[in-house]
């Protein structure tokens, strides 16, 4: 192999590889997240791509060695005098003109790229970029019934959304405020609704005796989490719901029409950024911005976006 390792050629091949991989990754819409510069494509990922290429190069070289060995055996076994096949006349001489090192490099790069792009896509879904994600929940609970038909306020159940980072899922006790009495027996021929029974099972309520079962070992209802940001990012509900006055539906969609919740927004970084660029902060009617409002009035500025307020600073959303 080493007789092919002429440094100038290797350099040229490496340069091509570099440009090819950078260019194709830059063009790949999955890798760049619809036109934004890809933050994923860092030095580390490039080193990984390089290592992958090297690995494929070694494999290609080994295969090449095995093939030449087999060719040699076949050549030794077959005597001359027979008519050459199409492969022997055209393809074989052409293959011989190729530099195996550069060929392996090219093959290696292609494999490396495919593996990289596939791996990236896999990573995206694993991390939770799942618009439309709608898992089956342990209880067939419907927002369409509770938030839509019954018009229960979102904050009745997701009470921490106005006070803290998390909106949180209500405990079974919240359900019991109503379901102690609402069993829907008339709908199920005198029996308790099977779905509501699951709440009773979790909390230890005996609907026949109309009482909690003593010393019952309660087990929380294991709701499957739908919206999930990676640990590297910071999102705060009260900041958006109270200070930012953003409606739940702006981010979560028409939840009150969903029998089964599904993820409405991508929750990707550009989604956050786009809103922060466009959305103006209502500083005039918000006690959080009294000082700022006074200052802006002096400066004569009327539109004030989240971005103006530092909403594009990396540190605001990343620890």
Nearer to ligand HEC, 98 or 169 (CB): 169
Options 169, 211, 213, 284; binder of ligand HEC; rule CB under 6 A: 169
State which of residues 41, 237, 283, 293 lies at the interface with ligand HEC (CB under 6 A): 237
Question: Rounded to whole angstroms, what are the CA distances from 95 to 7, 57, 64, 77?
Answer: 22, 17, 11, 22
CA distance 288 to 297: 16
Q: Per CB under 6 A, which region of 2-10, 12-20, 136-144, 212-220 contacts ligand HEC?
A: 136-144
Question: Is 271 an interacting residue with respect to ligand HEC (CB under 6 A)?
Answer: yes
Q: In the range 273-302, which residues lie near ligand HEC by CB under 6 A?
A: 273, 275-276, 279, 281
Q: Which of 105, 154, 203, 283 binds ligand HEC (CB under 6 A)?
A: 154
Decide if residue 64 touches ligand HEC (CB under 6 A). Answer: no
Among 180, 195, 197, 204, binds ligand HEC (CB under 6 A): 195
Which positions from 32 through 61 interact with ligand HEC, judged by CB under 6 A? 39-40
CA-CA distance, 229 to 129, in Å (whole number)? 8
Q: Which of 49, 112, 130, 240 binds ligand HEC (CB under 6 A)?
A: 240
Q: How far is the CB of 185 from ligand HEC (least distance, A)?
A: 10
Applying CB under 6 A, the span of 18-26, 79-87, 107-115, 241-249 interacting with ligand HEC comes to 241-249
């Amino acid at each position: 192999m080493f007789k092919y390792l002429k440094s100038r050629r290797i350099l040229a091949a490496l340069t091509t590889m570099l440009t090819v991989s950078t260019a194709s990754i830059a063009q790949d819409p999955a890798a760049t997240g619809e036109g934004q510069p890809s933050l994923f494509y860092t030095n580390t990922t490039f080193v990984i791509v390089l290592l992958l290429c090297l690995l494929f190069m070694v494999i290609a070289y080994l295969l090449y060695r095995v093939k030449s060995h087999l060719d040699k055996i076949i050549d030794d076994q077959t005597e001359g005098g027979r008519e050459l096949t199409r492969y022997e006349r055209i393809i074989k001489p052409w293959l011989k003109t190729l530099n195996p090192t550069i060929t392996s490099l090219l093959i290696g790069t292609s494999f490396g790229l495919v593996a990289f792009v596939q791996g990236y896509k896999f990573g995206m879904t694993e991390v939770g970029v799942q618009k439309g994600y709608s898992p089956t929940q342990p209880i067939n609970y419907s927002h369409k019934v509770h938030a839509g038909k019954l018009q229960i306020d979102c904050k009745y159940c997701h009470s921490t959304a106005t006070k803290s980072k998390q909106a949180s899922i209500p405990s079974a006790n919240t359900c019991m405020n109503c379901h102690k009495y609402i069993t829907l027996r008339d709908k199920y021929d005198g029996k308790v609704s099977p779905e509501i029974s699951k709440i009773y099972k979790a909390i230890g309520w005996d609907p026949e005796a109309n009482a909690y079962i003593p010393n019952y070992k309660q087990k929380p209802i294991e709701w499957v989490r739908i919206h999930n940001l990676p640990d590297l990012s910071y999102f705060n509900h009260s900041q958006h719901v109270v200070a930012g006055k953003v409606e739940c539906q702006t981010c979560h969609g028409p939840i009150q029409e969903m029998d089964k919740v599904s993820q409405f927004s991508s929750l990707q970084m550009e989604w956050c950024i786009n809103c922060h660029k466009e959305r103006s902060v209502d500083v005039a009617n918000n006690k959080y911005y009294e000082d700022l409002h006074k200052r802006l009035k002096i400066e004569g500025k009327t539109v004030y976006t989240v971005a103006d307020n530092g909403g594009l600073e990396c540190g605001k959303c990343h620890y």
